[in-house]
Chains A and B, each alone.
Chain A
Amino acid sequence: MAEAKSERTVHVERAGQPAVSVEGLHVRFVMRDATVAAVNGVSFELEAGRVLGILGESGSGKSVTLRALMRLLPAAHTRIDGRIRVAGHEISAMDEAALREVRGTKMAMIFQEPMIALDPVFTIGEQIAETIVRHERVSYGAANRRARELLEMVQIPSASRRLKAYPHEMSGGMRQRAMIALALCCRPSVLLADEPTTALDVTVQIQIILLLRQLQQELGMAVVFVTHDVGVAVEVADQIAVMYAGRFVEVGPTEAVIDRPAHPYTAGLLASTVLGSVHGQRLEAITGMPPDLRALPEGCSFAPRCRYAEDRCGTAMPPEFALTPERMTRCLRVAAREIDLAGPTLSERNASMGMDRESNHGARSQCRTDVG
C-alpha cells in the first residue's frame, strides 16, 4: 500500500475543472484604528500543470492573496470575501478541521525563509516523516523511506545522511530544497510558492528555479509563484499576473506581457528593471509611491503615478478589459485604444543596448589593472 503510493504520481484533474479558481477575492485587515484593504477583487483560474507568476511590489497584496488561498491569515483580524476553490475543494467555506486535511495533501506552500518555515528542533527527516504519517496513516518506516526518496527527488546529495540533519546544519540552498521536499511529501496538486528564491544567491537561485520547474512538469502540479523579480517570473511562469494595490492590473501569457506590456504600470515596472537601460542614461522610473492601503484612491489606484492619467481615471476603478481571450488589463485608456505602449520589446532593447553602452563607456574608460 505504502509502496504503491510512494511512486511519483502524475496528477490529472478532471477535464474542465481548473486546479485553482478564485472569484472576487477581497481581503481586509481590520485593526482598531484602521482597515487595510490588502486585496480588492482578484479573480483568476489556473489549470493543472500550469504556472501563474504573480508579480508585484511590496504591499501589492501578492503574498496576502497566496495566504488567502490556503487560509493562513490570522482569523481574528482578517475578513475574506469571495470564492476560492482549490483542487475541487471549496476553501472559502471550510472549517479548521477540514482545512487541516486539505493543507499538505491538496495544496502546499513554500516560503522565502526556510529557517523560519522549518522547525529548528526536529531533523529534516523527522519533519517530513511526521507529515506523511499524519496525512497518509502509514508506518514511520514507510514514511522514512519516502522521506529519503523525496530528498533524492529535490537533489540533495547523500540524502540518507541529510535526513538526520537539523535545519541549522544545512546551507541556504539545501534548506530551501528540504522545504520543497516537505511541501511535496503528500503529493499536492497545487503548490503555492511565496518568493522561494528571493533570499538566495544568484547561482543558487537558478538551481532552485530549475528544480521547481522540473518538479512542476514531472508531477503535473499547478503552481502559483509570487515574486517581485521580473527575471524570476520570466524563468518560471507560463502566465503572469501583475498586481498593484490589491488588484490584478494585467494578466496574460508571459511572452506577451514581457514583449508588449499593456498596462502603464507593467510598462513602468519593466522600464525600471535596470536591464533594459543604457548606462549613464536615466532610468524611466515610475514617480511617486504605491497608495496607502488604508485609504485607497477612488478611481484607478495607479492613476496618481500614471503619466497617461486623465480626469476620468480618477472616478472609478477600471473594470477588467479583455485585450485577447488570454489577456486582461485594467486601464480605461488602453481599453479605449487611446494609448498603445508597444515600444521596442525588452529583448530588442537589450540587443540595442550593447552598442550604446560601448560608446558610453569608451569616452571615460580608465585603464587601470590594479596589478600589484
Chain B
Amino acid sequence: MSGPDGLLVADLSPGASAAARERAEHRPLLAVENLTKHFPLKGGLLNRTKMVVQAVDDVSFTVASGETLGIVGESGCGKSTTARLLMHLIALDSGSIIFNGRAVGTADGLSHRDLRRQMQMVFQDSYASLNPRLPVAMSIAFGPFVHGLAKPEALKRAMELLAAVGLDPIQFSNRYPHELSGGQRQRVNIARALALEPRIVILDEAVSALDKSVEAQVLNLLVDLKAQFALTYVFISHDLNVVRFISDRVMVMYLGKLVEIGPVNRIYREPQHPYTQALLSAMPSMNPRRRTLRAPLTGDPPNPINPPSGCRFRTRCPFAEGVCAARPPALLAPPGEDCRAVACHMRVPGSGHSRAAAAA
C-alpha cells in the first residue's frame, strides 16, 4: 500500500535526526484530550434549554499506531458518541483531537476531509450504512472517486478490496445491498472503510448484529486485514468477550466518563474500578457447574441527563462514601502501576475514602 500519510514517512526517513525519529515513534497516532459533548434538551416556553445530556464528559485517551483500543460500557455510557466525535460526524463542545501530531479542525491543522482519508468508520447496521440503489462495488469506489481517483481506477480498487474481504469480485461487485446477507454486507462496509487506505478504522458495534458463526468469520477477517494493511482499530462493543478477543488495550466508560483504561489482560484479570469489576462479573459464567449466584449491581444504568455529583458511579457503587459525592475522582495511575489508569477514590492514597491507602 502506498502510504497516503506523507507526514509519517517524512518523519521516519533515514535522514531525520535521532530526536525527530524518537518523537515520531513515541507519538500516539491519535490523542484525544478533554473531549466533551453535551446535548441540550430544549423545550417549554421560548425553547430554552431545560436539561443537558452529558454524553461524553472530559474524556482523554491515546491510541498508538498499530494497536487496537477496545471501548466498552453499557447503553448511554457515551461510547458511540465518542466514536462519532472522533470522526467529527458531530461537532465537539470542547477538547481536542490530535491525529498524528496535528490538531483536527483548527485553522492550521488537519481538515475534516483529510482526517476522513485517514480515519474511517464501520457501523452496526450494515444495511442502513449502504446506499440501497448502488451496486456494492460502486459504493466502495465512491470514496476514492470523490477524493480524486479516476473512475476506472476507483472501481479497480473496489474489486481488489472485495477480494480482500473474502467476497468474489466477479460474483458480488454488481449486487445490491439487499441481495447480500448481513455478514456479506458487513464485509462490504469494511471494504468501503478501507477504500481510502485509512490508518485508523473505528468499528462501532460492527459485529454486534451478526450471528455467532458469522461474527467469528468477520472477527478473523478484521484480524487479517489489520496485519495486511497495517491498520489501527478503535473497537467499540457492548460484548465483553469480543472486546477481550480483539483488543490490546481496553477503555471502560460509564455515564460519559472514562473510568478505567489499561492493557486487556490487566483489566480483565484485575479490574480496579468497582464498575469494571461489576461489569465483568455480570458476564454469564459459561460454566454450568458454577452459575452466577448474585447480580453484582442492582437497577439499570442511570440516565445521563443530570448525572450524580462527584463520581457518577456512586449511586450504584457498593463502596460509595461521602468523598465520592463531594468531588469527582481524577483518572490516575494506581500506585505501582504505570500501564493503566483508574478514576476511583479508593485507588488514590489519601483521598479520604476509608478503603484508600494513607497518603504517602
Do A and B share a complex?
yes
- State whether A203 touches B241 (Cβ < 8 A): no
Interface check A369, CB cutoff 8 A: yes
The interface bits of chain A over 252-291 (1 if a CB of B lies within 8 angstroms of the residue's CB, else 0) are 0011001000000000110111110101101111110110
Which of A173, A228, A254 is within 8 Å of B212, CB to CB? A228
Min C-beta distance of A75 to chain B, whole Å: 29
- State whether A282 touches B223 (Cβ < 8 A): yes
- State whether A371 touches B34 (Cβ < 8 A): no
CB contacts (< 8 Å) of B341 on chain A: these are 369-371
Interface check A297, CB cutoff 8 A: no
Min C-beta distance of A244 to chain B, whole Å: 10
Cα(A269)–Cα(B214), bound, Å: 10
Interface check B125, CB cutoff 8 A: no
- State whether B292 touches A206 (Cβ < 8 A): yes
Which of A234, A277, A347, A370 is within 8 Å of B291, CB to CB? A234
The interface bits of chain B over 150-186 (1 if a CB of A lies within 8 angstroms of the residue's CB, else 0) are 0000000000000000000000000000000101000
Chain B: residues with Cβ within 8 Å of the partner, total of 65
Interface check A58, CB cutoff 8 A: yes
CB contacts (< 8 Å) of B74 on chain A: these are 201-203
- State whether B238 touches A201 (Cβ < 8 A): yes
Interface locus among B4-12, B16-24, B40-48, B59-67: B59-67
Which of B220, B240, B292 is within 8 Å of A235, CB to CB? B292
CB contacts (< 8 Å) of B261 on chain A: these are 369-370
Min C-beta distance of B109 to chain A, whole Å: 20
The interface bits of chain A over 49-64 (1 if a CB of B lies within 8 angstroms of the residue's CB, else 0) are 0000000011000000
CB-nearest residue of chain B to A58: B211
CB contacts (< 8 Å) of B291 on chain A: these are 234-235
- State whether A228 touches B211 (Cβ < 8 A): yes
The interface bits of chain B over 223-254 (1 if a CB of A lies within 8 angstroms of the residue's CB, else 0) are 10000000000000011111011101100000
Interface check B325, CB cutoff 8 A: no
Interface check A16, CB cutoff 8 A: no
Interface check B287, CB cutoff 8 A: yes
Among B28, B216, B278, B297, chain A packs the most CB atoms within 10 A around the CB of B216
Interface check B215, CB cutoff 8 A: yes
Interface locus among B127-135, B188-196, B298-306: B298-306
Interface residues of B in 261-304 (CB under 8 A from A): 261, 263-265, 269, 278-279, 282-289, 291-301
Interface check B340, CB cutoff 8 A: yes
- State whether B287 touches A347 (Cβ < 8 A): yes
Task: With A57-B211, A57-B212, A287-B217 as known contacts, state yes or no: A235 contacts B285, CB within 8 Å.
Answer: yes
- State whether A285 touches B217 (Cβ < 8 A): yes
Min C-beta distance of A290 to chain B, whole Å: 8
- State whether B213 touches A201 (Cβ < 8 A): no
CB contacts (< 8 Å) of A364 on chain B: these are 67, 248
CB-nearest residue of chain B to A273: B212
Among B242, B245, B248, B292, chain A packs the most CB atoms within 10 A around the CB of B245
CB contacts (< 8 Å) of A268 on chain B: these are 213
Interface check A358, CB cutoff 8 A: yes
Cα(A274)–Cα(B338), bound, Å: 29
Interface check B92, CB cutoff 8 A: no
Chain A: residues with Cβ within 8 Å of the partner, total of 59
- State whether A361 touches B333 (Cβ < 8 A): no
Cα(A211)–Cα(B212), bound, Å: 26
Which of A203, A279, A361, A371 is within 8 Å of B296, CB to CB? A203
- State whether B220 touches A285 (Cβ < 8 A): yes
Interface check B33, CB cutoff 8 A: yes
Min C-beta distance of B208 to chain A, whole Å: 11
Interface check A204, CB cutoff 8 A: yes
- State whether A202 touches B283 (Cβ < 8 A): yes
Interface residues of A in 207-248 (CB under 8 A from B): 207, 209-210, 228-232, 234-235
Interface check B219, CB cutoff 8 A: yes
Which of A201, A231, A269, A272 is within 8 Å of B285, CB to CB? A231
Interface check A172, CB cutoff 8 A: yes
Interface check A365, CB cutoff 8 A: yes
- State whether A254 touches B288 (Cβ < 8 A): yes
Interface check B51, CB cutoff 8 A: no
- State whether A230 touches B283 (Cβ < 8 A): no
Which of B33, B245, B279 is within 8 Å of A202, CB to CB? B279
Min C-beta distance of A149 to chain B, whole Å: 20
Interface check B358, CB cutoff 8 A: no
- State whether A279 touches B214 (Cβ < 8 A): no
CB contacts (< 8 Å) of A282 on chain B: these are 220, 223
Cα(A6)–Cα(B62), bound, Å: 58
Interface check A350, CB cutoff 8 A: yes
- State whether A286 touches B288 (Cβ < 8 A): no
Cα(A22)–Cα(B319), bound, Å: 50
CB contacts (< 8 Å) of B285 on chain A: these are 231, 234-235
Which of B238, B265, B288 is within 8 Å of A357, CB to CB? B265
Min C-beta distance of A242 to chain B, whole Å: 12
CB contacts (< 8 Å) of B223 on chain A: these are 280, 282
Closest 7 CB pairs of A and B: A231-B284, A272-B216, A285-B216, A201-B74, A57-B211, A171-B300, A286-B213
A-B contact pairs, 15 of them (CB 8 A): A171-B299, A172-B75, A201-B74, A202-B238, A207-B295, A207-B297, A235-B284, A272-B215, A273-B241, A279-B245, A286-B213, A354-B269, A369-B341, A370-B60, A370-B261
